[in-house]
Chain A
Amino acid sequence: MTEGPVAQWDERLRTKFPGASVDHDSAPYFRGLLEHRLLVNRCADCGTWHHPPRALCPACHSEAVAAEPVSGRGVVYLVTLLRQGPRAPGVDYASAPHPVVAVELDEQSGLRVTGTVTGCAPTEVRIGQRVRLSWLDRDGCPVLAFTPDREEGL
């Protein structure tokens, strides 16, 4: 299921993602988050995925781009542990460092999304580790998260 080029407004885009840059290009992505679905823009003409969402396909300049679900599986490409950072409910940097990862999705080389990590200690997160999508609820707001994909192993 995909969403067309004209994004539908949803009041929750304001209330659930305060401060985020929700606009016509990114609205389908954020609407996906509301349903705990990770949607990434893909070109209907050449098949190339891109993220963050833009109005044109960067590979062929087609305007036939739409947000499509991805498997949510991939590999940790970048990681850092924040010992300080933006305030958020449930995030206490003093008691435990907050992991942030860029995950390279299986759909395409170089296609990455950023989130946090659940299901293991922050210091156990490793670059190259296989992960799958999980979700975090932060005061009713969905947060993109990944968890070690132990079934697949390395």
Chain B
Amino acid sequence: MTSTGPRVRRGLSDRIAITGVGTTGCSRTEATATPAAHALRACAAAIRDAGLRSGDIDGIFGSTPAVSHIARGLGLTNTKAYLNTAPPVVTALMAAAAAVHGGLCDTALVYHTYFRMPGQSRAAAADPFRAGLRDVLRESWSAPSESDGTPESLAMAAGYAAWASRYAAEFGLSREELGLLAVNAHSNARANPLAASRGPITLDDYLASRMIRDPLCLYDMDLPADGADAFVVTLASKTARAPSRPVLIHAAVTALTDHPDEQSLESLEHSAITATANELWRRSAAGPDDFDVIFLYDGFSIIEYLWLEAFGYCAPGGAGAWLRNNWDPALNSLRYRGRVPVNPHGGALGEGATQGSGHLREAVAQLRGKAGARQVAEARWAILGIGGPFFNAQAVALRTAD
């Protein structure tokens, strides 16, 4: 967990700022807007939020739709650098930060769009325009496996359930503990007007919910939603006129192992999540207890266990007890050391399946002091563990400038 290797170069640490943020929020009931419409709305909002105009943007980095589509839709006349990146959003954020730091562009737009497949919700299934959609998430994350599309595939959802079983076999897995994550998510989402969640749940609701892929039940899975988040990234030294408090990228990591797929991942102890967390601590001046707000990716609840343990908040196998020990029964929500919330916006389980861009958006809101009823007092540092243990683990430490 602590530094073991040679000292890392300071690089872009604290030199790149997020100065704009825009979102559509998470829509779960309507299914009438295209991915491009969501992305354009979020991007336009982020540009406005940064106090800029289209002509000020000279770099664009995002997942889907393609950057050329979005650049045209926003009327960007000045693009000098661009990249289509695989989600989660930290890939795009890092590419933008590196491009700005390296002088390839000055002010970059970062975006991620989330969109329900027809099989993921009734509203999406009822939208005839979605019938021919390709699963772009699956395609962008890993090579096809030999059993894709058959009942004998561990790709995507089945893989997380299979590794949850592995966790259970190695350490034990209590449903009463795992369920606290869903309760935390839905409790927190109540204070988030952008959330798709319909309200709080109890642990009994969790325990009674339908098993989908053992040992994970319905409430262990994120809420499919439509929407987009966007961010504006620029040099921290050029933020004097930014309308909002700049948020600095202190450290960002996307590590892989040499077995980056669901079937072949070496072990719980040696995964993309542990590799990413270890590298984050090599690059971060702050340690686990220095953060005022914690974001853990929760496309499936079990992933939060892996991040908690990899970041060193508890020992391997200790996540369930950690949840119990840091539970605030009055709030029906997690408060680490009585103060620090986990996924205060509700995360993917409670806000919606943003693949992590909602976590980043909320982190920026918290560090700006603009998180409304969810605001953590004097939040200065935020840590994010985004993605899963196979092929898309990403960690970020964000901080305020002062």
Contacts and interface: CB of A to CB of B under 8 A. Distances in A.
Interface of A: 19-21, 26, 29-30, 51-52, 58, 77-86, 88, 91, 97-98, 100, 102, 110, 112-116, 126-128, 143-144
29 contacts: A19-B149, A26-B146, A30-B146, A51-B264, A52-B145, A78-B163, A78-B166, A80-B213, A81-B213, A83-B212, A83-B213, A83-B214, A85-B158, A86-B151, A91-B151, A100-B153, A100-B158, A102-B154, A102-B262, A110-B264, A110-B266, A112-B263, A114-B152, A114-B153, A114-B154, A114-B263, A115-B147, A127-B166, A127-B169
Given A110-B259, A112-B263, A127-B169, A80 B214 contact: yes
Nearest to B266: A110
B324 interface: no
Contacts of A97: 214
A144 B148 contact: no
A100 B263 CA distance: 11
B161 interface: yes
B211 interface: yes
A19 B213 contact: no
B214 A127 contact: no
B332 interface: no
A83 B161 CA distance: 12
Interface string B139-170: 00001111111111110001001111110010
Query: Which secondary structure characterizes the binding site on chain B?
Result: loop
Interface of B: 143-154, 158, 161-166, 169, 210-215, 258-259, 261-264, 266
A30 B148 CA distance: 13
A16 B153 CA distance: 16
A20 B146 contact: yes
B151 A100 contact: yes
A29 B210 CA distance: 37
Given A19-B150, A91-B151, 19 more contacts: A20-B150, A29-B146, A52-B143, A52-B261, A58-B258, A78-B154, A78-B163, A78-B263, A80-B213, A82-B158, A83-B211, A88-B151, A98-B151, A100-B154, A102-B263, A110-B266, A114-B154, A127-B169, A143-B150
A97 B144 CA distance: 25
Contacts of A116: 151-152
A102 B162 contact: yes
A81 B168 CA distance: 14
Contacts of B264: 51, 110, 112
A26 B263 CA distance: 16
A39 to B, nearest CB: 11
B210 A83 contact: yes
Contacts of B166: 77-78, 127
Q: Interface centre among A19, A78, A97, A144, by most B CB within 10 Å?
A: A78
A79 B212 contact: no
A116 B258 CA distance: 25
A52 B145 CA distance: 7
Contacts of B153: 86, 100, 114
A116 B143 CA distance: 21
Contacts of A26: 146
Closest 6 CB pairs of A and B: A21-B144, A78-B162, A127-B169, A80-B161, A81-B214, A80-B162
B258 to A, nearest CB: 7
Contacts of A83: 210-214
Contacts of A51: 264
B158 A80 contact: yes
Contacts of A88: 150-151
B258 A78 contact: no
A86 B153 CA distance: 9
Contacts of B147: 20, 114-115, 144
A110 B65 CA distance: 37
Contacts of B258: 58
Contacts of B146: 20-21, 26, 29-30, 52
